[in-house]
A and B are shown apart, each in its own frame.
Chain A
Amino acid sequence: NAGVTQTPKFQVLKTGQSMTLQCAQDMNHEYMSWYRQDPGMGLRLIHYSVGAGITDQGEVPNGYNVSRSTTEDFPLRLLSAAPSQTSVYFCASSYTGLAGYEQYFGPGTRLTVT
Chain B
Amino acid sequence: AQSVTQLDSQVPVFEEAPVELRCNYSSSVSVYLFWYVQYPNQGLQLLLKYLSGSTLVKGINGFEAEFNKSQTSFHLRKPSVHISDTAEYFCAVIGGSYIPTFGRGTSLIVHP
* Chain A interface residues (CB < 8 Å from chain B): 4, 31, 33, 35, 40-43, 45, 48, 50, 58, 90, 92, 94, 96, 98, 100-103, 105-108
Contacts and interface: CB of A to CB of B under 8 A. Distances in A.
Interface string B82-102: 000000001010100011101
Contact of B90 (A43, A100, A101): A43
Interface residues of B, number: 22
B49 A100 contact: yes
Nearest to B97: A96
A63 to B, nearest CB: 21
A107 B43 CA distance: 4
B51 A105 contact: no
Interface in B19-49: 32, 34, 36, 41-46, 49
Contacts of A105: 36, 43-45
